[in-house]
Structure 1
Amino acid sequence: MEGLLIGLLATALFTVIGLLGTALFQLRGRIDATNDRVTDLGADMNQRLGEVVTEMATLTARFGAHREQHEPSV
């Protein structure tokens, strides 16, 4: 009788360990997918930031040229 109970407990323990392992494996997959999305978003943000900086430089140059044209000479 004791052997049967020990066997059932061992089976239950291995089942729980297996379920936890499966859950952790799935969680790791979700974390990896999230990391990939974050990496993609970071690359997209860097690209857009570069575009904004380029546009700001262009506007600054245009503003400087405009100001030089309209300032009275001293």
Structure 2
Amino acid sequence: MDYNKTINLPKTEFPMRAGLPKREPEMLRRWEAEDLYHELLKKNEGKPLFSLHDGPPFSNGSIHMGTAMNKAIKDIITR
């Protein structure tokens, strides 16, 4: 059975699969050509530096939902 016809998805131009292994080399070449890393450094020039220290992944026991939430929050806040 083809379940694609049973769900209501929006019509987009985006492909169903990202194909990252195939697309990543081109993305990296573009970032190199645009000198993106150094552009970001220039943008943040003069701002205070900081370090985010994150401990061992499971320092207080087995992994659980709180561990996943903590990692996600740290990722979201730093972005």
TM-score with structure 1 setting the length: 0.22
Is the helix fraction higher in 1 or 2? 1
Question: Which structure exhibits the higher relative contact order, with contacts defined as CA atoms closer than 8 Å and separated by 6 or more residues?
Answer: 2
TM-score with structure 2 setting the length: 0.21
Which is greater in Rg? 1
